[in-house]
A and B are shown apart, each in its own frame.
Chain A
Amino acid sequence: MINAPPALTPRQRAWRRFKRNRAAVISGLFLALVVLVVLVGPAICPYSPNALSEAQFQPPNLRHWFGTDVHGRDLLVRVLMGARLSLLVGATGAGVSLVIGVIWGAVAGYLGGRWDSAMMRAVDVLYSLPSVVFVIVLITTLEQLFKNWLSRLVSIESDSTVRLLFLFVGLGAVSWLTMARIVRGQVLSLRTRGFVEASRALGANEVRILWRHILPNMYGIIIVYLVLTVPAVILSESFLSYLGLGIQPPQASLGSLIADGAGQINPIRIYWWLIVMPGGILVAMLLALNFLGDGLRDALDPLAES
């Protein structure tokens, strides 16, 4: 280093590193644009997502940019509405996975011994229970109770709102389990490394060691797994919907639109837009999310040289 750089906080340095990563910045902007379009788009679009028409199975054209489906509904507005829902589902799943999964795994791994055993066995038990039964029971037994309780507090417009809430809870409840295992494994390995031993010898308190020394070393793996959780949650939502346990038609999610489209793949004739349009949007969003994650990871890497 020739010129000593002005003193920067770690956060400022991270931001500076992030800005230099072109793929990450473009991805971030793209995601912001998608969110904007998904929020504003349906309002501008001349079609309602549930309006039927005579124009059944029309390929993309000037009137319907993404084509139409079996009921003659405009696919573009349905994809936008679906993406809105899927983003919400994905974000909820990732959020639960981040908060519960990381804390659970880190504490288990750091404390070790009996705590580790108990906490990890709890994860195993939850992981073993069949998620389909779990969701059925959750929806059917608690939904009515919850609806009654909720309707006394606020007026809810429809049943599907409650169902949606339960879907979030159900998906969130299982999405953090693998994250906890991975984080716990990393902590087990990290807590014996030289720098942790050193700070412990210097008398740093345990929470501080976990927060300041171990956690920053795991940013990478956490971000990467978090990004992987998003598609997993979006797709398990579509699987539950496919079994009749998820969102209620005529509402759609990106996952259920893709599942519908996949049913169209056959040797006779393919309505390609039904699969390519929602699938393309999902892939583009996740790719951007991934490159954004990589950029964040590099920016936050404590060992990266500026």
Chain B
Amino acid sequence: MSFSWQSVYRFLTRAVVGGLLLFSCAGCGSRAEQRADLVIINGAEPESLDPAIVTGQPDIRVAGALFEGLVRNDPHTGAPVPGLAERWEISDDGRLYTFYLRTNAQWSTGEPIMARDVVYSWRRVLSPETASDYAGQLFYIKNAEEFNRGEIKDPSRVGIKAIGPRTVRVELTGPVPFFLDLCTLPTLAVVPEWTIERYGDRWLMARPLPVSGPYELVSWRINDRIRLRKNRRYWDVAHTQNDRVDVLPVGSANTALNLYETGAADIVWDKELAPSELLDVLLKRPDFHTFDYLGTYFIRINVTRKPFDDPRVRRALAMAIDKTRIVEKITRAGEKIATHLTPPGIPHYDPPNGLGYDPETARRLLAEAGYPGGKGFPTFQYMFNAAAGGAAKTHEKIAVELQQMWRQELGIHMELRQAEWKVFLAAQSALDYDLCRSSWVGDYNDPNTFLDLFMSWSGNNRTGWKDPDYDRLLREANSRADPAARATLLQAAEALLVRDAVPVLPLFFYRGISYYDSTKIQGIYPNILDQHPINAVRKVR
């Protein structure tokens, strides 16, 4: 029987080629775009770029490039320096702030930026209809919380007033020592009233979009890229370095590294985007930069459950963790091990030392609590969130280490419970866990951004631990204007938290990693807030 391959092939090629031709035309539609002057890989896709809504770090970096507030971050230190306001006065009791706006401050569409724009923007954050997550950052302003709750309906009773066309007066509830730091947050940035009132929730899609910051928003395609263009009417435009900037959302460290290595991106600045297994090699390269910043990795303990209601048990757990092994074997970015919650490096504050690695004492404490050698200690669970979307599995690795350390040192058995993110959050809020993995990144350069988590009423407490003494110490500290007296009270509070009560076990302080070729990219300075204004970044050709 003769077999003709040719006829089979002719038939098949016709079918396949016809099909492919038909389909490939769909690909012609997407044209190649020109590479921007500067391409930055920025971590997760921003949920929003609306200053009133943003909370995440990647969101804040981009929203901060679009909208500026009265005060902005110094690119070198992150300290508050004049933004739209050229100067300000603070009353002697620290409760009245008067800001004077620049006369050359204007929107990208040409209109001047006036005091009423500031008042509108801040009231908008507080308005219940805006539903801003970070409205709480303004609660230090008189009547702000009441207005947000709907108890006060009249916005003019809130302590923000335009007392001249370019003069804003802010009245606070007390002497808030970190108020200027708060003013650098995008939450307090100035936004265009007429565009927002006209287009509603989708106002960022309006064109032209008036912006107050150094960059205009050209386009924003979710999971694709955010394209920025220099705002030529920005008051400090002379120092804006790049004309067009692309911001890419990338979730996986390997993808980020690949894009960087082949030159598709200039900068990668998210600590999650450096593959931890390779750090021993990568950190030796000149284009990898690490720096300390305000972030702590810790464990929450549910103190409402037995046997964790006994502080001795909690202290025993703390002292049986070999934190050095964790930072050397797992995280590997040169993190400092933590015994206290507040990261070192905050001005005017020296955190108190907590409990160190001491398995001997740990075993004794556990025996005192009634579980010698772990006998009779119930099996408990350690909950951690799953790393979705190709992110590093650091939490899982740390959990595995802890499981073995506690088994070896204390003879107690812990099960791991990996939960999907929303389940994790729900369980944490409902105190439906024994121990769980946690972390916190400070919003502003002050111990309060860490310590007020564990106030009795705080929604971020989530340990069940309540101590009136702790609440009192913090409240007293924040009513003091003298930095030294305040620091002493804060230290006493933190010592109570990490030495005696121990509802949380700090493991290590985060270390930021960014990578870029510093012979070509300049203007990124390490600072504790991990703030690197995009307009200060310079590409040398």
In the complex, is A directly touching B at CB under 8 Å? yes
A positions within 8 Å CB-CB of B: 50-52, 56-57, 70-71, 136, 140, 158-160, 242-245, 248-250, 260, 263-269, 271
Residues of A within 8 A of B254 (CB): 263, 265-266
Q: Is the CB of A268 within 8 A of B397?
A: no
CA distance A264 to B390 in the complex (A): 11
A157 to chain B, nearest CB (A): 10
Given contacts A136-B423, A159-B417, contact A269 B281 (CB under 8 A): yes
Q: Is the CB of B278 within 8 A of A244?
A: no
CA distance A306 to B282 in the complex (A): 64
Q: Is the CB of B386 within 8 A of A71?
A: no
Query: Closest 7 CB pairs between A and B?
Result: A244-B386, A244-B420, A52-B404, A244-B418, A268-B278, A250-B400, A249-B396
B385: interface (CB < 8 Å) = yes
CA distance A269 to B278 in the complex (A): 7
B399: interface (CB < 8 Å) = yes
Please give 6 more A-B residue pairs, beta carbons under 8 A apart, in addition to A71-B404, A266-B257, A268-B281.
Answer: A70-B329, A244-B388, A244-B418, A248-B416, A249-B400, A260-B393
B151: interface (CB < 8 Å) = no
Q: Is the CB of A50 within 8 A of B261?
A: no
Residues of B within 8 A of A269 (CB): 278, 281
CA distance A186 to B278 in the complex (A): 52
Residues of A within 8 A of B421 (CB): 244
B positions within 8 Å CB-CB of A: 254, 257-258, 261, 275, 277-278, 281-282, 329-330, 379, 381, 385-388, 390, 393, 396-397, 399-401, 403-404, 415-421, 423
For A158, give the chain B residue with the smallest CB separation: B415
B275, B397, B420: the one within 8 Å of A71 (CB): B397
CA distance A151 to B261 in the complex (A): 54
A126 to chain B, nearest CB (A): 22
Given contacts A70-B330, A71-B397, A268-B281, contact A263 B418 (CB under 8 A): no
A87 to chain B, nearest CB (A): 22
Q: Is the CB of B257 within 8 A of A267?
A: yes
Q: Is the CB of B257 within 8 A of A52?
A: no
Given contacts A244-B385, A266-B254, A269-B281, contact A249 B416 (CB under 8 A): yes
Residues of A within 8 A of B393 (CB): 260, 263
For B426, give the chain A residue with the smallest CB separation: A140
Given contacts A244-B385, A260-B393, contact A267 B400 (CB under 8 A): no
B275, B281, B417: the one within 8 Å of A248 (CB): B417
For A243, give the chain B residue with the smallest CB separation: B388
B332 to chain A, nearest CB (A): 10
Q: Is the CB of A266 within 8 A of B397?
A: no
A50, A260, A264, A268: the one within 8 Å of B257 (CB): A268
Q: Is the CB of B278 within 8 A of A70?
A: no
Given contacts A244-B385, A266-B254, A267-B258, contact A52 B277 (CB under 8 A): no
Given contacts A136-B423, A267-B261, contact A249 B415 (CB under 8 A): no
CA distance A266 to B281 in the complex (A): 13
Q: Is the CB of B385 within 8 A of A266?
A: no
For A266, give the chain B residue with the smallest CB separation: B254
Given contacts A266-B278, A268-B257, A268-B281, contact A250 B403 (CB under 8 A): yes
Interchain residue pairs with CB less than 8 A apart (27): A50-B400, A50-B403, A50-B404, A52-B400, A52-B401, A70-B329, A70-B330, A136-B423, A140-B423, A158-B415, A160-B415, A244-B386, A244-B418, A244-B419, A245-B386, A245-B420, A248-B415, A248-B417, A248-B418, A249-B416, A250-B403, A250-B416, A263-B254, A266-B254, A267-B258, A268-B257, A268-B282
Residues of A within 8 A of B379 (CB): 158
Q: Is the CB of B385 within 8 A of A70?
A: no
Given contacts A50-B404, A70-B397, A158-B415, contact A243 B277 (CB under 8 A): no
A148 to chain B, nearest CB (A): 15
Q: Is the CB of A266 within 8 A of B415?
A: no
Residues of A within 8 A of B420 (CB): 136, 243-245
A71, A242, A266, A271: the one within 8 Å of B400 (CB): A71
CA distance A249 to B390 in the complex (A): 17
Q: Is the CB of A263 within 8 A of B390?
A: yes
B509 to chain A, nearest CB (A): 21
For B424, give the chain A residue with the smallest CB separation: A244
Residues of A within 8 A of B388 (CB): 242-244
CA distance A249 to B403 in the complex (A): 11
Residues of B within 8 A of A267 (CB): 257-258, 261
Q: Is the CB of A51 within 8 A of B404?
A: yes
For B254, give the chain A residue with the smallest CB separation: A266
A151 to chain B, nearest CB (A): 14
Residues of B within 8 A of A160 (CB): 415
Residues of B within 8 A of A260 (CB): 393
Residues of B within 8 A of A263 (CB): 254, 275, 390, 393
For B422, give the chain A residue with the smallest CB separation: A136
B382 to chain A, nearest CB (A): 10
CA distance A260 to B210 in the complex (A): 46
Given contacts A260-B393, A267-B258, A267-B261, contact A249 B418 (CB under 8 A): yes
For B419, give the chain A residue with the smallest CB separation: A244
A7 to chain B, nearest CB (A): 33
CA distance A140 to B422 in the complex (A): 11
For A246, give the chain B residue with the smallest CB separation: B418
Residues of A within 8 A of B423 (CB): 136, 140
CA distance A84 to B277 in the complex (A): 28
CA distance A56 to B397 in the complex (A): 13
Q: Is the CB of B277 within 8 A of A70?
A: yes
For A267, give the chain B residue with the smallest CB separation: B261
CA distance A56 to B386 in the complex (A): 23
Residues of B within 8 A of A242 (CB): 386, 388
Q: Is the CB of A249 within 8 A of B419?
A: no
B2 to chain A, nearest CB (A): 23
B429 to chain A, nearest CB (A): 15
Residues of B within 8 A of A248 (CB): 415-418
Residues of A within 8 A of B257 (CB): 266-268
Residues of A within 8 A of B381 (CB): 159
A243, A249, A264, A268: the one within 8 Å of B399 (CB): A249
CA distance A136 to B424 in the complex (A): 12
Residues of B within 8 A of A245 (CB): 386, 420
CA distance A160 to B381 in the complex (A): 11
For A264, give the chain B residue with the smallest CB separation: B277
A270 to chain B, nearest CB (A): 10
B100 to chain A, nearest CB (A): 52
For B278, give the chain A residue with the smallest CB separation: A268
CA distance A158 to B415 in the complex (A): 8
CA distance A52 to B400 in the complex (A): 9
Residues of A within 8 A of B278 (CB): 266, 268-269
For A53, give the chain B residue with the smallest CB separation: B404
B177 to chain A, nearest CB (A): 41
Residues of B within 8 A of A265 (CB): 254
A128 to chain B, nearest CB (A): 21
A76 to chain B, nearest CB (A): 18
Residues of A within 8 A of B330 (CB): 70
Q: Is the CB of A271 within 8 A of B277?
A: yes
A246 to chain B, nearest CB (A): 9
CA distance A248 to B414 in the complex (A): 13
CA distance A250 to B415 in the complex (A): 9
Q: Is the CB of A159 within 8 A of B385?
A: no
Q: Is the CB of B281 within 8 A of A159?
A: no
Residues of B within 8 A of A51 (CB): 404
For A51, give the chain B residue with the smallest CB separation: B404
Residues of A within 8 A of B275 (CB): 263, 266, 268
